[in-house]
Amino acid sequence: MNKLHFSHSAIFTAAAVILLSSFIAADAILTKDGKTTVVNTTSLTSNVRGFRGPTPLKIYIKSNKIQKIETLPNQESPKFFAKAKAVLAQFEGKSVSKVEKLNVDAKTGATFSTKALIQNVKQGVKYYKEHK
């Protein structure tokens, strides 16, 4: 009886992992009108943390170039996060291959948030290149 219970538990766990991983991939990348791809980093970078927690983004990519980057809801201090968000402009208009190699400095006074945003962009672009 215990072996049967263990077997069912293992099957249930495996099914849950497969189902969860399909949800993660599904909300990570979206295509709009066949031309612009939007990468949502919420599930891709849940371990990337600013000063107070995750700093997810939506990265809009068209013709392998970043068109714009939007910040998503987060727990960062608005005053410091406004400083950190300025770093995102350095990625806009750049090709995805240049973004991966781009060396961007963190903003003084918002170092944790800036580093988290940079990591979100780079991981989002990496995901895009692997799944486009």
| 52 Cβ neighbours under 8 A, 6+ residues apart | 74, 75, 76, 77
13-25 pLDDT per residue, tens: 444 433 344 344 4
Taking the C-alpha atoms of residue 65 and residue 94, their distance in angstroms, rounded to an integer, is 5
Name the phi and psi angles at 118, rounded to 5: -60, -45
Which comes out higher in pLDDT, residue 21 or 103? 103
**Sheet order of strands, 29-32 included:** 29-32, 36-40, 57-62, 65-71
Dihedral angle of Cα 37, 33, 18, 119, to the nearest 10 degrees: 10
Taking the C-alpha atoms of residue 30 and residue 38, their distance in angstroms, rounded to an integer, is 5
* Predicted TM-score of the model (pTM): 0.76
pLDDT at 94 over 50: yes
